[in-house]
Amino acid sequence: MRRLRVVSYNIHCGIGWDGRFNEQRILEVLKEIEPDVVALQEVESRASGIDMLEWLAKGTGFHAIAGTTLLRSDGHYGNGLLTRCPVIRSSLLDLSCDRREPRGAISADLDCGGEPIRIVATHLGLRPAERRDQVQMLLKLFRESPDDRAVLVGDLNEWFLWGRPLRRLHKYFKATPSPATFPSVLPVFALDRVWTHPCAILRKISVHKSRKARIASDHLPLVAELEF
């Protein structure tokens, strides 16, 4: 029996609820959780002068895949994937819509103790119309190999549980629990989500609510326990 702990964590560029940048707090929260795979959103190098993803990869000893969506002369910004499991292959999907902030997804096929699994990590747009289009593009990644184990994880920016993008995802993956992760000090909204295919491999979804997690970012980490 293989077990995999997958986490979605919007780290808010390393800026905590107290308004201070502190990359060490993000690393300590990850060490509290002891994950196998982490989908990161709002990973930035400008605020710190360091490559945040590379720094976290070194601190955890994980493989890192960058999903940069914004390139600037003074740094970059976007998604990131950290994984304890070896990476078989990976690719980036552009989910950008005209005149909106660039968005993307990381698709990674991992070797989990000899068992393959596809992880797709993303951060969707702020407007409902762009999220509807982005979900349609994301679902193509899963329809390529419909019999394979797969996980969709990330910050979907969907404020309402009955939104059309969520209905489309539920239709393909089946509905999953949606505990609130935002804002971190008093979570009300389920912005961070995870779905699995097949649904049966998902054993538990929870929110990591440690004292450090409540202050390290404006989102709490979402933790999914998989078993197959």
**Which tens digit of pLDDT belongs to each residue from 186-200?**
999 999 999 999 999
pLDDT of residue 145: 77
pLDDT reading at 47 higher than 60? no
Q: What is the CATH number of domain 3-227?
A: 3.60.10.10
In sequence order, what are the residues at sequence separation of 6 or more whose Cβ sits closer than 8 angstroms to the Cβ of residue 40? 9, 10, 11, 53, 56, 79, 80, 81, 82, 121
Percent of all residues in the chain with a pLDDT value above 90, rounded to a whole number: 73
Bridge partners for 93 per DSSP = 105
- How far is CA 38 from each of CA 41, 127, 138, 215, rounded to the nearest angstrom? 10, 25, 18, 19
pTM of the model: 0.94
Q: What is the mean pLDDT of residues 65-79?
A: 80
**Which tens digit of pLDDT belongs to each residue from 93-104?**
999 988 888 899
pLDDT of residue 50: 79
pLDDT reading at 159 higher than 60? yes
* Per-residue buried b or exposed e for 38-62, using 16+ beta carbons within 10 Å of the residue's own CB: bbbbbbbbeebeebbbebbbebbeb
pLDDT of residue 74: 65
Q: How far apart are CA 119 and CA 8, in angstroms?
A: 11
pLDDT reading at 70 higher than 90? no
**Which tens digit of pLDDT belongs to each residue from 166-216?**
888 888 888 899 999 999 999 999 999 999 999 999 999 999 999 999 999
- Cβ of 27: how many Cβ atoms within 10 Å? 17
- How far is CA 125 from each of CA 76, 136, 178, rounded to the nearest angstrom? 18, 13, 19
pLDDT of residue 46: 63
